[in-house]
Chains A and B, each alone.
Chain A
């Protein structure tokens, strides 16, 4: 089982997450000005990257928040997670080893 580092909840099992496809697909500034082909490209055309891929994930079984991640489509290894809306990190830091515990408790 792969563990994914939720930016809000720490490492959780893959089954708690939903995949949201390629990240950084900007909504067209003026959709009315697009041809049908351009609109179809925005809606349906996505990269089919072999290797490091920036994609969206939702922690649907936990905090229900969206975030972005860089994942290697060959090895499945996540090399970075970062907030939705922020640019793709150049030097994606390695994902911390998944032993950051759930630090809970009563305050």
Chain B
């Protein structure tokens, strides 16, 4: 049998300038849709966040090794986000977590894979799975409430909470990162639809309030 030679396929030159994010074509439309002031709301895409999906049983040896490598504990229940060393870990299910970071995705994935090696579970680079929308401003909650089944009132949905839910029928992770600031993580193929849905929901706040 002929010996197989593995070809080194990793690009040696930096090709990141050639990447295009799932909502890149909407950047101008997003900018036009933004409004300022007391009823203002702003939308932008935050492209190319590093996201790593973890599947591991809570409190297992593998989980403890991942926690050590991450520099933070895994969140122990729904809604919770843990943070440390520039990484945020979102609870998706009792054995499923999403790590979000600005680090190089290949490096972070490799480090976590090495940490889990030999233990049940998985570490997968999901950076291309979802994109990130940031919705900001006094009217951001009113925009989301048009299409989200959750109670987003601050007495229920507190700052720092992240959950799996739907917006405009699109499955997303919704993270309340500030009093008037949300991060929305739709899958890449939904980015165009959700982006346009949000623009539509934002439109009324351009006009002055009527009584």
Contact = CB atoms under 8 A, between A and B. Distances in A.
Interface in A59-95: 61-65
Contact of B157 (A1, A8, A102): A102
Interface of A is mostly: loop
Contact of B78 (A9, A13, A106, A107): A9
B149 A107 contact: no
A65 B78 CA distance: 13
Given A101-B156, A105-B158, A107-B80, A62 B73 contact: no
Contact of A63 (B78, B150, B160, B171): B78
Interface stretch (B4-12, B62-70, B162-170, B202-210): B162-170
B210 to A, nearest CB: 29
B78 A102 contact: yes
B75 interface: yes
Contact of A15 (B149, B163, B164): B149
Contacts of A15: 149, 166
| Top 5 A-B pairs, shortest CB-CB distance | A104-B161, A104-B79, A106-B160, A63-B93, A13-B149
Given A65-B93, A101-B155, A105-B158, 5 more contacts: A9-B163, A102-B150, A102-B156, A105-B80, A105-B81
29 contacts: A8-B78, A9-B164, A10-B78, A12-B149, A13-B150, A15-B149, A61-B165, A61-B171, A62-B78, A62-B165, A63-B164, A65-B94, A101-B151, A101-B155, A102-B163, A103-B79, A104-B80, A104-B158, A104-B163, A105-B80, A105-B159, A105-B160, A105-B161, A106-B81, A106-B82, A106-B160, A107-B73, A107-B80, A107-B83
Interface of B: 73, 75, 77-83, 92-94, 96, 149-151, 155-166, 171, 176
